[in-house]
Amino acid sequence: AQSVTQPDIHITVSEGASLELRCNYSYGATPYLFWYVQSPGQGLQLLLKYFSGDTLVQGIKGFEAEFKRSQSSFNLRKPSVHWSDAAEYFCAVGAPGNQFYFGTGTSLTVIP
Amino acid sequence: GAVVSQHPSRVICKSGTSVKIECRSLDFQATTMFWYRQFPKQSLMLMATSNEGSKATYEQGVEKDKFLINHASLTLSTLTVTSAHPEDSSFYICSAGGDLRGYTFGSGTRLTVV
């Protein structure tokens, strides 16, 4: 069965600190993996995606993610968090022409 | 590129009326569009897959007579919530694109039924 697990419902970090959001997936075929960010009342913005090749992918806003097939994980990282990064983050798995499966999201709070 | 426009962004309607939400791909053709629903503080759940020129495919538990989907062109899909009730109040998001660019999402529609 296809599924995505984001173990952390809510994370609080200090501005300037590093960040790692966890994502584990279960998918029956070669996974295409995505991270999206959602600000309150807004749609989804794509941060980065992994299809193949280098397992460390760079995204927008200084985010990166690493695909680890052996661990079925695709964790999102940022070296130094900014206050504007406070939002909801969704990990998703899917394939072209097929639906996406989303995790339940991780809410990020950034404290000064 | 790969811009999806969703309209309206917010709508308030009276119970029993119908509401239409539009999802347009602005700079590409989308033979497939997806409609998701998001309850407060929850993840996105797929409601239906909209295929240009054919009937939509609905997920289990989604009332096809209540959530009418029309995908009449390669750039437009519409979701009509018929005879809306307060429990239909939610955030509806569409996505389009089935190639390796990855799915692009609309900005969402906040529906409030009073």
Burial code (b: 16+ CB inside 10 Å, e: under 16) for B63-90 equals eeeebbbebeeebbbbbebeebeeebbb
Q: What is the largest CA-CA distance in chain A?
A: 42
Contact between residue A79 and residue A20 where contact means Cβ atoms under 8 Å apart: no
Mean pLDDT over B32-60 rounds to 88
pLDDT of A43 > 90? The answer is no
Strands A24-26 and B104-105: unpaired
Q: Using the beta-carbon criterion (under 8 Å), do B49 and A36 form an inter-chain contact?
A: no
Phi, psi for residue A100 in degrees, rounded to 5: -95, 150
- Using a CB-CB distance cutoff of 8 angstroms, which residues of chain B are in contact with residue A105? 42-43
Rounded CA-CA distance A25/B107 in Å is 25
Q: Using the beta-carbon criterion (under 8 Å), do B43 and A49 form an inter-chain contact?
A: no
Rounded CA-CA distance B36/B34 in Å is 7
Q: Any idea which residue has 């020129």 for tokens?
A: B53
Q: What is the DSSP letter of B52?
A: T
For the stretch A47-61, pLDDT in tens is: 999 988 899 999 999
- The chain-wide mean pLDDT, for chain A, equals 92
Structure confidence at residue B101 (pLDDT): 52
Q: What is the DSSP letter of A30?
A: S
Secondary structure (3-state) at A83: helix
Which residue of A lies nearest to B3 if distances are taken between CA atoms? A45
Q: For residue A78, name the pLDDT band (cuts at 50, 70, 90).
A: very high
Q: Using the beta-carbon criterion (under 8 Å), do A46 and B102 form an inter-chain contact?
A: yes
Rounded CA-CA distance A26/B38 in Å is 21
- Using a CB-CB distance cutoff of 8 angstroms, which residues of chain B are in contact with residue A1? none
